[in-house]
Structure 1
Amino acid sequence: MDFLTLQTRAGPLGFIGRLHTDRRRPALLIVNGSFPSKTHRHDLIERFPGANVLIANLPGMAGVPWATPTVADLTEGLGEAVARLLPEVPIVAFGASTGNLLSLGLRLPNIRRRVMLEPFFQTKDLWPFIDNSRKRMAGNPGNTAMAHYFWEFLGIAQDRVENRDYRWLLDNITVPTDALMGGAPLLPERESEIWPSFTSQEDREALAAHPLVTMLVGAPDTGHAFGMMFGDREGENRSTYVDVVKVLHAALLDLAQYCA
């Protein structure tokens, strides 16, 4: 499928999905994170044929042209785009990994539920991603927009790491929210066959204490790939993928009450 590109104040955003025009239906808004494949989570469009499903990819991701926005400007641009595409229907806002930094920033009044997959609220300890980001920059030395993305969003440069603190986003959780994450702890840094969960122990404690958050934590050998569409660890990923689908389905069913 080709993207519908919306040119926002913060640069281009790529959208793909299915919108219904026959009657009021709940919507699933998916905000992908860093460097997904071009078809990442497209399977969810077919999983929920009775709902509006809209997938957003950020500048530079999955074939969307690069831009150099701030996090605040991109969040505002995303909000304007979603308000145009889903102006009145009740929304489940689903952020995945880095996508949570934008989906949690949205303050649209028709967001009635949230789902967070592998959220993180500080970046200094994301050691697997820091190493991966530096390799990407080394392989793309002329891509200043990519370097801007890593520094602006995550505080990652080739020669230093500067923490980006997003804990204030927890205050934006004002509707029922499901937080899903792998069971393998982020720290300590270590040799591992998989990327661990990016949701730190501090983040888990903050989420567990929030009265509107329901947590689902995977087995000890599940990490940042929680909920991925299969892959190298197909058995593990298939199980956690089913968990994610169940949570999204329940959230969409809950929003059906607003569509009568």
Structure 2
Amino acid sequence: MLKLENVYFSYESKNYILEDISLEFKKGLKIAILGRNGCGKTTLMLLCSGILKPKKGKIFIDDLEIKNPGLLKKHVGIVFQNPDTQLLAAKVYQDISFGLFNIGYEKQVVKKKVDEIISKLGIEHLKYRPTQFLSYGQKRLVSIADILVMEPEYIFLDEPEAYLDYKSFLKVQEIISELPKEGKSVIISTHDSDFAFEWADYIYVIDNKTVALHGTPDYVFSQVEILQEIGLKIPYAKRLEV
């Protein structure tokens, strides 16, 4: 389990962007971090992945406090909203294999792992294609492959549904729905209430710099007054139940 306990964070100013954040991500679950744009969802993911360090508070992996944020990278992978910030190599195969070579895997092992991930995501036809000529949806799939090939236990995706065509959206949704069945925890950030309601097992709502609400989708979206104050809409499927 990945757990944050009373975490605070600010950038250059003294004003905290996130305050007193306490939450936990259990393995095998689909978890949504829901909130309006600019509420700190991406910053929270960067803290969880070790890219940013809390100003105060603690982060744990399986009850072991992680004092060096770099150690989180062994357990956590993050897929950014803009894939161009993640694709580093000229061609798809090189990009997906980069992380494995970087930590010392031999060529044959790398080839096997990359081929397995490429097959799993259905992007065999992109294997030797230049990354600069990929569509946005294809880039998102390759950036997901970059992370999955490293076999993290916790996978964060920042707004995975954003700016995708319908076919690419369905493929990404299929991928992030299957991974928890392998015992991995998949955590997405989103401002889309409908997507969170339909997809997630558990939801954390971020507002006013902290966790404003959390629970199962049914519970979270039964808190109509709180959600309206925050500015989040009630999912269409939930409104039909009334």
TM-score by length of structure 1 reads 0.29
Which gives a bigger RCO, structure 1 or 2 (Cα 8 Å, sep 6+)? 2
Higher helix share: 2
Give the structure with higher Rg (CA): 2
TM-score by length of structure 2 reads 0.30
Higher strand share: 2
